[in-house]
Amino acid sequence: MPFLDLADGNSLFYKDWGNITGPPVVFSHGWPLNSDNWENQMFFLGNQGYRVIAHDRRGHGRSSQPWSGNDMDTYADDLHQLFVHLDLTNATMVGHSTGGGEVARFLGRHGTARVSKAVLVGAVTPLLGAIRTNPDGVPLSVFENDRKTLRENGRAQLFWDIPAGPFFGYNRHPENTSLALVQSWFDQAMQAGFVNVYDCIKAYSETDFTEDLKKTEIPVLVIHGDEDQLVPVETTAKRTVKLLKRGQLKVYEGGDHALPNTHVERVNGDLLDFLRS
């Protein structure tokens, strides 16, 4: 399995599939998952002639589980090291949820010399939590309760309740419940390091990506579900697209937070159309 040795001594696991000479598409996953969550999209685009790459963010999946560096700046810097290592140019970046924040911070921090397009799916941009500058965001008590649960009860129950409930929207539509998807989410989440998922909650909920989005001049497709219970569309996607110079918004009616899993064909089709545009 390929690993990149990072500058700080940690290692980053990544997948590099598809046509090695094709246009690169780089995927960033959500909390607390790993690159496996993008397999439907990677397999599809790989078969369309694209080079598809996804990494396990530090502290997640098969990557190192360091005590420090569990913040958006470091996530973006790690990913930039992977770009340099693979000498990627003219790439399209695709990020889901926390991964959308990672993409935005990458573009704001490292520019677009190696990137031609980006896609944000259910992304936490421009700012998820209700801090002073974002009073309409998700109350910080929600995230503190998650951290409290981790501290006091461990993560197994939390990592079952999230996918069994709001992540896939099964609390609203129990008739759609797939225990296989719940189990897959749980298995990925349990691979992550405890301190890493704990610290990442603050990173995805309190990081402000406003300036990153304003600086981004490449085309960006923003995809979001109007029934996303974890990352509300009104305060994230609809604000994100207004900050982008070349943003395009697609709202999926009835769409939940797990669009790459629950709306596979539509997401795949929209990605391919955007890549070809």
pLDDT for 121: 98
For residue 97, indicate whether it is catalytic. yes
Averaged pLDDT in 10-residue chunks for the chain of 277 residues: 94 98 98 98 98 98 98 98 98 98 98 98 98 93 96 92 98 96 98 98 98 98 98 98 98 98 98 98
pLDDT for 1: 66
pLDDT for 154: 83
Which two tokens mark 262? 């629950």
Among candidates 214, 276, 234, 242, which has minimal Cα distance to 48? 276
pLDDT for 272: 98
pLDDT for 137: 96
pLDDT for 100: 98
For residue 257, indicate whether it is catalytic. yes
For each of the domains in the chain, give its residue range(s) and CATH number, in order of start.
Answer: 3-276 (3.40.50.1820)
In angstroms, rounded to a whole number, what is the distance separating the alpha carbons of residues 223 and 68?
Answer: 31
In angstroms, rounded to a whole number, what is the distance separating the alpha carbons of residues 263 and 267?
Answer: 6
For residue 8, indicate whether it is catalytic. no
- DSSP for 103-146, written as a single string: HHHHHHHH-STTEEEEEEES---S--B--TT-TTSB-HHHHHHH
**Given 29, 60, 257, 263, which residue is catalytic?**
257
**Given 35, 63, 97, 205, which residue is catalytic?**
97
Tell me if the bond preceding 232 is cis, omega within 30° of 0. no
**Given 78, 228, 256, 270, which residue is catalytic?**
228
